[in-house]
Amino acid sequence: MTVQNYLETLRQEIEEVSVQQAADILSKGSAALIDVRELDEYSSGIIANALRLGRGFLELRIEKQVPDKGQTVLVYCAGGTRSLMAAKSLKDLGYQNVKSIAGGFNGWKTSGFPFEQVKTLSIAEKERYSRHLLLPEIGEEGQLRLKESKVLLVGAGGLGSPIALYLAAAGVGTIGLVDDDRVDRSNLQRQIIHQDRSVGEAKTTSAKSAIQNLNPETSVNEYQLRLSSNNVEEIFSGYDIIVDGSDNFATRYLINDACIKLGLPQVHGSIFRFEGQVSVFRPRQEGVESPCYRCLFPEPPPPEQAPSCAEAGVIGALPGVIGLLQALEALKLILEIGQPLVGRLLLFNGLDTQFRELRLHRDPDCRYCDPHKEFPGYMDYQEFCRTQ
C-alpha cells in the first residue's frame, strides 16, 4: 500500500471537518482540541485552548489530558495529513468521536480565524532542557512556565546553595537571593555554591556569579540585607514562590507571616547536625487545606535548645539532601505537577538514612492562617524568639 492509498483509507474511516465546521464545534465549548505538530511549528501560532501534545507523545499523554473517551476530539496538524494518522491512533485507543481538521492550522490561519502567538524555546534552550522536554509532565509548555517563573530564596548558605543551583539548572527564569552575610572559609564545607576565592565576598554576589556561570539565561536579583518587617513585603512582591533557606527562628516566623499576608506558597526546610525536615505551606489559598509554620511551631524553642550550625555543627552533605528536596518541591509548585508536601512534614535522619513523614493539621486557634480572621500584623520577631 502506498502512502496515498493509506491516507485515502484513513479518510474513509476518520471524519474530516472543514475549518469552519471546526470553529462551529469549538464555539459550543464541549470539544477537546489537540495540536499534534512538532515544537518548532508553534512559532507560527496556535489555535486558542489547544492542547499541545505532539504526535510523538500523543498516545502517552492523551488519556491524562482527555480522560472522557466519549468527548468530541478535534485534531489538527499543519496541513491535515498527520492529524488523520493521529485521529486513527486515538480511535484505536477507544475515543469514539474523533475528527481531523482538513487543511490544519495553515487552513485555519489563511481563512482568517483567530489564533495566538506563543512563546517558544530557542534552539540552545531546547538543547539545554532536552531531558525536561522528554517528560510528558513538563514538555515545552512546562519549560516555558519555568522560564517565566520568579522564585525568591531567603538564605544563600547551606540550604540555599543546592536550591539556587538546581533551580537555575532547571531553567527558573528569575531567582532572588536574600542574605546579608559574607562568605567565610568555615562555610565551604557545606555551602557548595561558594568557592575559596570568594571568601570575604557578599554571599549574594558569590552565589549570583555561580548561578550565571551555570545558566546565563537565569536572571538573579540580589538583596544584600537582613529581612525585616519593614522590607519583607516590598522584597516578596513580584515573586511566585518563597523558599526558606534561613537558619534562625525569627526569620522563619517572618517569612511565614509575610507569605500568609501576600498569599504566597512557601517551601520550608531546616537542618540540625545529621537531621533535616521539609514541608510546603500554602495557607489561606482557595481550595487548599494547609497549616502554616506557626501551626507546626506555635512558639520557638529556647535558644539553648536550638543552637545554630556554628554552635552545634552539621554534616556537610545534609543541606544538600534537604536543599534538593526543597528545590524539587518548588519546581513541582511552578509546574503544578505531583503532590507537594502540603500538610506533610518529611523528616530525614542522615545517620540512619531514613525518611519519615508526619501529617500536619491546621491549628484551629492559629490567628495567622485562619481564613476567617484578619491578618494580626507583624511583630518584633527577635524579641519574640528571645523571650520564649
* 155 falls within a domain: yes
Position 45, amino acid: G
Q: Within this chain, do residues 93 and 226 fall inside the same structural domain, yes or no?
A: no
Q: How far apart are CA 268 and CA 112, in angstroms?
A: 50
The string of pLDDT tens digits covering residues 249-284 is 999 999 999 999 999 999 999 999 999 999 999 987
Q: Within this chain, do residues 164 and 242 fall inside the same structural domain, yes or no?
A: yes
* pTM attached to this predicted model: 0.78
The string of pLDDT tens digits covering residues 329-387 is 999 999 999 999 999 999 999 999 999 999 999 999 898 998 888 899 999 888 888 75
Q: Within this chain, do residues 74 and 201 fall inside the same structural domain, yes or no?
A: no
* 236 falls within a domain: yes
* 240 falls within a domain: yes
Q: Kindly state the average pLDDT of the residues 8-14.
A: 93
Which residues are registered as beta bridge partners of 271? Answer: 276
* 361 falls within a domain: yes
Q: Within this chain, do residues 170 and 66 fall inside the same structural domain, yes or no?
A: no
Q: Within this chain, do residues 164 and 59 fall inside the same structural domain, yes or no?
A: no
Q: Which of 110, 136, 163 is the last residue of a domain?
A: 110
The total number of structural domains that make up the chain: 2
Q: For position 17, which CATH number holds?
A: 3.40.250.10
Q: For position 306, which CATH number holds?
A: 3.40.50.720
The string of pLDDT tens digits covering residues 275-318 is 999 999 998 776 677 999 999 998 887 666 666 666 678 999 99
| Other Cβ atoms within 10 Å of 387 Cβ, number | 10
Q: Within this chain, do residues 233 and 103 fall inside the same structural domain, yes or no?
A: no
* 131 falls within a domain: no
The answer to whether the CB of 105 falls within 8 A of the CB of 44 is: yes
* 52 falls within a domain: yes
* 257 falls within a domain: yes
How many secondary structure helices (H) and strands (E) does the chain include? 16, 13
- What domain range is 70 assigned to? 3-110
* 135 falls within a domain: no
Q: How far apart are CA 335 and CA 25, in angstroms?
A: 30
Grid cell digits, residue 341: 508536601
